[in-house]
Amino acid sequence: MLKNIEGIILDWAGTTVDFGCFAPVNVFLEIFHSAGIEVTQEEARKPMGMLKRDHIKAMLGMPRIRSAWKEKHGCEYDEQDVDTLYEEFKPMLMSSLHKYTDPITGVIETIETIREMGLKIGSTTGYTDSMMEIVVKCAKDKGYSPDCYITPDSTHSIGRPYPYMIYKNMEVLKLSAPWKVIKVGDTIADIKEGFNAGVWSVGVIVGSSQMGLSYEDYMRLDETDRESRMANVKKQYIEAGADFVIETMKDLPMLIEKIDRLITEGKRTYAFRA
């Protein structure tokens, strides 16, 4: 029986559904291609987890992309360019989102275990309400459904790394204190969101946008390459402020028990991060 932890807040794409978080990545590549700028998957993934308009603006601000834009268009990008790209992004993503809603292996079983532990399950995302209507319905049809989800539409379009979506989850789920909450995600923005909210911030490696591999490509890795890539993702999470890193969602229940025990023993609290 848990004595301290009351709830878990999960990310969506790359954490619970859409192994590798490919739905938005493919569209980012396409809209920049249409604007005459070729971007890499690594560049497209770097701001992952942010509100999608903010994500586009972050990409435009990258030195290489910013320089390429100026060379192609003869001037620096402005807010109108951000809006134009975002308006192109939205319908393209909406038309393909349903294809990227399969729960990642182990997620459904993990959620069942977490519910049996008596925990409430919330979620945050970089998608908007209209995007999530598609994702939530399709994921539910496939067996995954948290107790609630909050998008930046509910926080005045202020998304990650700000903590407000987490606080909104806490309000809806009636979670009593940040140190009784665990946030799990697959991007640096997720980690910073959790850190800034004062909750336990956890990164998941396999299936993550941070690793950036499809399930097929991940399975083709030899043991040495797999361990190297996983170690690199773990390092990035820790440097961003993660309290813990798990390999897969299947590891989450055991981590929850560990965190609950650490609090009970007085070895870790959120008043003092160690």
Give pLDDT tens digits for 20-36: 999 999 999 999 999 99
What are the tens digits of pLDDT across the range 152-186? 999 999 999 999 999 999 999 999 999 999 999 99
pLDDT at 1: 84
Quote the DSSP letter at residue 97.
G
Grouping H, G, I as helix, E, B as strand and the rest as coil, residue 16 is coil
Q: Is 11 among the catalytic positions? A: yes
Residue tagged active-site, from 18, 46, 52, 120: 52
13 annotated ligand-binding residue = yes
- Phi, psi dihedral angles at 106 (to 5 degrees): 95, -15
Q: Was 186 annotated as part of a binding site?
A: yes
| Res. 266 pLDDT band, cuts 50 70 90 | confident
Is-contact 211 165, C-beta < 8 A?
no
pLDDT at 84: 97
Q: Spot the catalytic one: 11, 190, 251, 260.
A: 11
Cα three-residue angle 149-250-194, rounded to 5 degrees: 45
> What's the CATH class of domain 23-99?
mainly alpha
Nearest to 120 by CA among 147, 149, 150: 147
Catalytic site includes residue 258:
no
**CATH code of the domain made up of 7-21+102-264:** 3.40.50.1000
Whether the model clears a pTM of 0.95, i.e. scores above it, the answer is: no
Mean pLDDT of 96-106: 96
pLDDT band at 274 (very low <50, low <70, confident <90, very high): very low
pLDDT of residue 269: 61
CA dihedral 12, 243, 156, 87 (to 10 degrees): -50
For the chain, the structural domain boundaries read 7-21+102-264, 23-99
